[in-house]
């Protein structure tokens, strides 16, 4: 009988010991898992987030290039404004032996502006390089006119056309961005001494129609601005 009791006690001892080991392992596992739970709680902290994989750059090939199509560079109203500017530039060039004024359309601001002497050169460049202007007139300076830099092409006038659909319908978020870009251009070109002419359709109506403009009035204003520039007067914002 005594032997049986001793045997039962020994078995009971090993059962209790085995449970204790399992309990210790569970606690250790919980300790390991606990930080992971905390990471999920505070996933907005960078150190707990996985680094996002950079998007792979698209390489053009014979298949995806078929998804790219040409589109019209200018709408109908912009085309007529282009014609007015071409005639104004040609008229201004009549006063010179060689062509002095040139016209470009749909130009990135990063093509004729640059950032210098700035600690945030890259970020500052990004703030304006993504902006585009509808029309740009630049002047070709001769070596005599610009002895330090020699022959150079200087932007002297930017023209923006704000047509009937300049602002998006029922899209306040997009319109905030459009207004911000318009304001940035006014500040930017004024600081650079570049004449800035904004043609707003509501300022040049033709028979009170939203789809037509008074191109004769626009032509008159463009000629006046060109005379202002040729005379070497201070640049300003025009409407």
Question: Which residues, 6+ apart, have CB-to-CB distance to 152 below 8 Å?
Answer: 140, 141, 146
46: its two tokens: 């960078």
62: its two tokens: 């014979």
The answer to whether residue 70 sits within a structural domain is no
For residues 130 and 121, give the distance between their C-alpha atoms in angstroms, rounded to a whole number.
Answer: 15
- pLDDT (mean) for 159-172: 84
Name the nearest CA neighbour of 234 among 186, 199, 192: 192
The answer to whether residue 55 sits within a structural domain is no
What is the chain's mean pLDDT, rounded? 79
92 lies in the same domain as 141: yes
Question: Which residues, 6+ apart, have CB-to-CB distance to 140 below 8 Å?
Answer: 98, 99, 100, 101, 102, 151, 152, 153, 154
- Quote the pLDDT of residue 105: 95
pLDDT for residue 71 is more than 80: yes
- Quote the pLDDT of residue 198: 93
193 lies in the same domain as 80: yes
- Quote the pLDDT of residue 4: 57
Q: Please give the residue range of the domain that contains residue 18.
A: 2-48
For residues 102 and 86, give the distance between their C-alpha atoms in angstroms, rounded to a whole number.
Answer: 9
143 lies in the same domain as 41: no
43 lies in the same domain as 160: no
DSSP state of 134: E
The answer to whether residue 127 sits within a structural domain is yes
104 lies in the same domain as 199: yes
181: its two tokens: 């870009």
**Residue, of 173 and 11, whose pLDDT is higher:** 173
155 lies in the same domain as 192: yes
The answer to whether residue 60 sits within a structural domain is no
pLDDT for residue 117 is more than 80: no
pLDDT in tens, 141-161: 877 777 666 668 889 999 999
pLDDT in tens, 25-43: 555 555 445 455 454 445 5
DSSP letters for 54-116: PPPPP---TTGGGG-----SS-HHHHHHHHHHHHHHHHHHTTSSS--EEEEEEEEGGGT----
Q: What is the phi-psi region of residue 30: left when phi exceeds 0, alpha when psi lies from -120 to 50, beta otherwise? A: alpha
Percent helix / strand / coil, the chain, rounded to 5? 50, 20, 35
The answer to whether residue 97 sits within a structural domain is yes
110 lies in the same domain as 31: no
80 lies in the same domain as 186: yes
- Quote the pLDDT of residue 142: 77
**Residue, of 96 and 24, whose pLDDT is higher:** 96
The answer to whether residue 114 sits within a structural domain is yes
Tokens 């070596």, residue located? 143
pLDDT for residue 51 is more than 80: no
43 lies in the same domain as 124: no
38 lies in the same domain as 124: no
pLDDT band at 127 (very low <50, low <70, confident <90, very high): confident
Helix or strand holding residue 126 (H, E) = helix 121-129
147 lies in the same domain as 230: yes
Total domain count for the chain?
A: 2
109 lies in the same domain as 226: yes
């Amino acid at each position: 009988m005594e032997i049986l009791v001793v045997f039962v006690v020994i078995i009971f001892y090993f059962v209790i010991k085995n449970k204790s080991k399992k309990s210790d392992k569970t606690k250790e596992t919980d300790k390991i898992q606990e930080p992971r739970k905390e990471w999920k709680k505070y996933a907005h902290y960078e150190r707990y987030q996985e680094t996002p994989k950079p998007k792979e750059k698209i390489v053009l090939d014979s298949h995806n290039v078929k998804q790219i199509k040409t589109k019209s560079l200018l709408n109908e109203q912009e085309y007529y404004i282009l014609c007015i500017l071409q005639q104004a530039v040609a008229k201004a060039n009549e006063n010179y032996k060689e062509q002095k004024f040139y016209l470009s359309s749909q130009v990135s601001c990063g093509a004729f502006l640059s950032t210098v002497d700035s600690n945030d050169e890259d970020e500052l460049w990004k703030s304006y390089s993504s902006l585009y202007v509808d029309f740009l007139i630049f002047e070709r300076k001769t070596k005599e006119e610009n002895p330090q830099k020699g022959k150079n092409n200087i932007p002297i006038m930017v023209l923006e056309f704000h047509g009937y659909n300049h602002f998006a319908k029922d899209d306040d978020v997009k319109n905030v961005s459009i207004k911000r870009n318009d304001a940035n251009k006014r500040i930017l070109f004024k600081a650079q001494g570049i004449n800035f002419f904004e043609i707003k359709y509501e300022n040049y109506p033709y028979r009170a129609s939203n789809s037509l403009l008074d191109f004769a009035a626009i032509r008159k204003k463009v000629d006046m601005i060109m005379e202002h520039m040729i005379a070497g007067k201070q640049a300003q914002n025009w409407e």
